[in-house]
Amino acid sequence: MKIISSTLTDNIESLKALARGYWGSQALFVSLRFGLFEALAGKALTALQLSEKLRLNSDALKQLLNALVALGLLAKANENYALTSLARRCLVKGGDAYLGNLIRHQEHLLTYWLHLDEAVRTGKPPAFRMADGQKDNPERRKIFIEAMEDLGCLSAPEIYSALNLTPAANDPTKLLDVGSGPATLPRYFLKQNPDLRVTIIDLPQVTEIAKEKIAQDNLTDQITLLPGDLREIDWGSSEFDLVLLSNIIHMYDPETNRRLVKKAACALKEGGRLVIHDYVLRQEGTLPLDGVLFSLNMLIGTAGGKSYQEDEITGWLSEAGFSCPERVDLAASHSLMIGEKPSGVTRRKCGQKVRTQGIKDSRVLGGK
């Protein structure tokens, strides 16, 4: 019989929680799939009332509802179940911080995560093998793009503040957003600074979705769409004040990213800035935790993508001629890596800078 020291208790409980972490996520995935949170949006209901509404087994549903109470997503009083503020805002369509698409995307990824062992053995992404021969799934693609919208809404205020894009009507800033997805960041930027002029590059099927959202925000005249593969399409020459690569470099291998950074250098005016928004690993690639785990997500889903360390990104910037690299740490474990294209032939000599944004997440805490 093993005698386990009491000093290990906390660590053992953490290990147990890690091993069964999928219990809670599955409860969330299934509840979202059932439309459970929308069903409770109007008023509190008993398990029996909710089971009749959703056509589910009442006894089994009660167990799921109790689990959601324990997870902090529902409240229970006198056998009636009601949404918590978090659930109402984040899990009900139309909520000011709705994350349902992002959570559904995470559920879709679970299929590939079950084959992590294959990826580690072979170094090849199982997602490619599993998708081979399958037809494109427009519904999943739309959920993915909407998930990127959710993420972009969370980060846009903080990124805008960090970039200090103050209005300048006499000389409007020209922004190139490469791999923009649903154009979430430039749409937010334009609401803060209508004098910006924005060009977006992304795949044709993605720019079609972006086009709809841009029209809904009445920004059609201020955003130019360039459909195409960002690796192949021309980005222009000495045209932009700012090039943004948001959540892009983790999809590609180092050599591809070197080429993208050089394309950015070509597209920028002298004195222009390249802004890379992504996980930036530190401590020899072991922090932050979210970024390290996300790197495994790229291992199973991309051909060579991963989360990169700060010195790797700084190396690409230096090779492309950028000066004064700066890391700006944001919320949710993300960072900005910023490089400036020098003016003239004289390159400024300066050390690498690091700063931390002290801005809270305005969308989750109350803003949009």
Structure confidence at residue 2 as a pLDDT band (50, 70, 90): low
Task: State whether 141 and 252 are in the same domain.
Answer: yes
Domain match, 141 and 199 both: yes
Average pLDDT, whole number, for the chain?
Answer: 90
Instruction: Assess whether 208 and 334 both reside in one domain.
Output: yes
- The pLDDT score that the predictor gives to residue 51 is 98
pLDDT in tens, 224-278: 999 999 999 999 999 999 999 999 999 999 999 999 999 999 999 999 999 999 9
Of the pLDDT bands very low, low, confident and very high (cuts 50, 70, 90), residue 7 is confident
214-223 contacts at long range (C-beta below 8 A, 24 or more positions apart): 214/183, 214/187, 217/187, 217/190, 217/191, 219/187, 219/190, 222/190, 222/194, 222/196, 222/197, 222/198, 223/183, 223/186, 223/187, 223/190, 223/198, 223/199
Instruction: Confirm whether 162 is domain-assigned.
Output: yes
- 131 and 49 inside one domain: no
Same domain as 10, residue 151: no
The CATH code of the domain that includes 33 is: 1.10.10.10
Residue-level pLDDT at 343: 82
pTM attached to this predicted model: 0.89
Q: Do the domain assignments include residue 104? A: no
The residue to which tokens 């950074």 are assigned = 261
| pLDDT on residue 348 | 39
pLDDT of 302: 95
- Nearest by Cα to 326 from 263, 261, 274: 274
Verify that 232 and 356 share a domain, yes or no.
yes
pLDDT score, position 332 = 84
19 vs 4, more confident: 19
- Across the range 15-33, mean pLDDT stands at 96
Q: Strand pairing partners for 240? A: 268
In a domain, residue 139? The reply is: yes
The pLDDT, as a whole number, for residue 111 is 92
Are residues 77 and 134 both part of a single domain? no
95-152: per-residue pLDDT in tens?
Answer: 999 999 999 999 999 999 999 999 999 999 998 888 765 656 788 888 999 999 999 9
Look at residues 106, 109, 39, 102 and name the one whose alpha carbon lies nearest to residue 68. 39
- Residue 288 and residue 193 share a domain: yes
pLDDT tens track for 49-70: 999 999 999 999 999 999 999 9
Residue 361 above 50 pLDDT?
A: no
Banded model confidence at residue 346, pLDDT cuts 50, 70, 90: very low
Domain count, the chain: 2
Q: Which domain holds residue 320?
A: 118-365
Q: Is the pLDDT of residue 368 over 50?
A: no
pLDDT at 345: 32
- Do 280 and 327 meet the contact criterion of CB atoms below 8 Å apart? yes
Give the per-residue pLDDT at 168.
Answer: 59
DSSP 184-204: HHHHHHHHH-TT-EEEEEE-H
Residues 83 and 155 in one domain: no
CA separation (Å) from 74 to 28, 101, 176, 259?
11, 20, 43, 49
100 is a domain residue: no
Q: 181-224 pLDDT, tens per residue? A: 999 999 999 999 999 999 999 999 999 999 999 999 999 999 99
Q: Give the CATH number for residue 328.
A: 3.40.50.150
> What pLDDT was estimated at residue 142?
87
Neighbours of 355 (CB within 10 A): 12
Q: Which pLDDT tens digit goes with each residue over 297-319?
A: 999 999 999 999 999 999 999 99
pLDDT tens per residue, range 136-176? 678 888 899 999 999 999 999 999 999 988 765 556 799 99
Q: What pLDDT score was predicted for residue 206? A: 93
Task: Give residue 232's identity as a one-letter amino acid code.
Answer: E
Same domain, 223 and 351: yes
What is the pLDDT, as a whole number, of residue 354? 52
Domain match, 338 and 286 both: yes
149 in the same domain as 51: no
